[in-house]
Amino acid sequence: MTQQRQYFGTDGIRGTVGTHPITPEFVLKLGWAIGCVLANQARKNNTVLIGKDTRISGYMFESALEAGLSAAGMDIRLLGPMPTPAIAYLTRTFHAQAGIVISASHNAFQDNGIKLFSSMGTKLPDDVELSIETQLNLPMNTVSPAKLGKAQRVDDAPGRYIEFCKSTIPFDINLKGLKVVVDCAHGATYHIAPNVFSELGAQVVQIGTEPNGVNINRKCGSTYLSALQTQVLSHQADLGIAFDGDGDRVLMVDAQGEVVDGDELLFIIAEARHKTGQLQGTVVGTAMSNLGLELALKKHAIPFARANVGDRHVLEMLQKFDSTLGGESSGHIICLDRTTTGDGIVTALQVLAISMQTELPLHDLKSGMHKCPQRMINITIEGDSTQIMESPILQQAVQDAEQQLGDQGRLLLRPSGTEPLIRVMVEANDAQQVETTVHALADVVKSIAN
């Protein structure tokens, strides 16, 4: 029987700042617990990296983690504001025992969270997270003064990561002649992404690059593409690139102002690698991936599999199939032949490289995939999502809807792993049927929740 997690969710620990467990007191002890567990692994390098996004609470939690880790005898390297995938990469290059990210990704500034990477730059194994939770229940103590950990800032972290990103596309490719609008969501990519694209030769128009601690993800970035669409059209750019607050997701906008989502980006990369014989194994999507992705890959005889929602599950299935490419509709794409985790900048570079190699604009690259009409409604709930999901009334409504859709569509209901939401998604060839079905199911969820 799997041990029940108390704090760690599908993507670390996340919540509202000031509300348990996202408090300085808890994060202090969390740093200590992480340090104790890592110290017991008896590695030669007792160093942990800490990076963060740009939200104002990051200062507070950075200090708390630093104190807790030091109390456990771990040395700390402070990276400052850096994208989540940069912390994964730097954890490997520093041969550190772990990397810690202070971020709530695409959430508003009021939230924050802690997620961890192993020494290999992958998500921390379940057994290590459970050991940390067990340690949290013990009284906190401090190593002897002579054994306290030391902290050091890494001033060249941005430059190291910029060079790595540039190395993920062939050396003979440059982006000269390309005009791109880059929206960094006032988040962790603000001082990284524009430099990557401009150093490769692109003309870059920047938006969302003036973080003030509270504007992260606010009407910008991959969760709000209107600003990017407007700028692409007004600047007559070739395309637009939007990251989320911590830089592990990317969505794009073509020259016509049309959104290119994660499913389409995944198709573009998969098709190009298949044509050149570089695609390994099965392409992995999720239960939320558009049916059009599956059908488009099928036309090219490219195997496709669906994992549960969440990059952790995508990664697990990639490893299971010994594959290298997978992702989510949200723009969280994993290219295991380039790096160990979802990376927005690296993903964008793969797409731009394909565009330059084929001399095809983004609009044409995505044309091989035709998305089925899909609609998702997020319903905010209070209380236990499990009770709502197990309601006989809801289960009957789902059964009826599935019968009506038949082979021409599919539906999915699931609780969010990071927010108090139940997501209702319906997909079918008939757009009107999609709208009717999704609203009917959403109404049932609302009536039960209220």
Question: Is the per-residue pLDDT at 382 higher than 90?
Answer: no
DSSP assignments along 342-358, one per residue: --HHHHHHHHHHHHHHH
Which run of H or of E encompasses 32? helix 24-40
pLDDT above 70: residue 1:
no
- Angle among Cα 205, 209, 214 to the nearest 5 degrees reads 150
Segment 329-349 shows an average pLDDT of 97
| Lateral strand order in the sheet of 374-380 | 374-380, 421-428, 409-415
Give me the CATH topology for the region 177-260: Alpha-D-Glucose-1,6-Bisphosphate; Chain A, domain 3 (3.40.120)
Calpha distance 399→209 (Å, rounded): 47
How far apart (Å, rounded) are the C-alpha atoms in residues 413 and 411?
7
Q: In this predicted model, what pLDDT tens digit does every residue of 145-196 receive, in sequence order? A: 999 999 999 999 999 999 999 999 999 999 999 999 999 999 999 999 999 9
- Provide the CATH topology of domain 13-155: Alpha-D-Glucose-1,6-Bisphosphate; Chain A, domain 3 (3.40.120)
Lowest mean pLDDT among 206-210, 279-283, 381-385, 388-392: 381-385
Kindly state the greatest CA–CA separation across the chain. 70
Quick: pLDDT tens for 212-265. 999 999 999 999 999 999 999 999 999 999 999 999 999 999 999 999 999 999
Instruction: State the Cα angle at 89 between 334 and 267, rounded to 5°.
Output: 15
- pLDDT of 42: 64
Indicate which residues carry an active-site annotation.
105
Q: Is the pTM of this model over 0.75?
A: yes
Q: Where does the pLDDT of residue 347 fall: very low under 50, low under 70, confident under 90, or very high at 90 and above?
A: very high
CATH class (in words) of the domain with range 261-371: alpha beta
Nearest to 87 by CA among 418, 342, 314: 342
Domain boundaries, the chain: 13-155, 177-260, 261-371, 374-449
Strands 151-153 and 111-117: unpaired
Between strands 239-243 and 179-183, the pairing is parallel
Which superfamily is assigned to 374-449 in CATH?
A: Alpha-D-phosphohexomutase, C-terminal domain (3.30.310.50)
Question: What pLDDT was estimated at residue 3?
Answer: 62
Q: Is residue 170 reached through a cis peptide bond, with omega within 30 degrees of 0 on the bond before it?
A: no
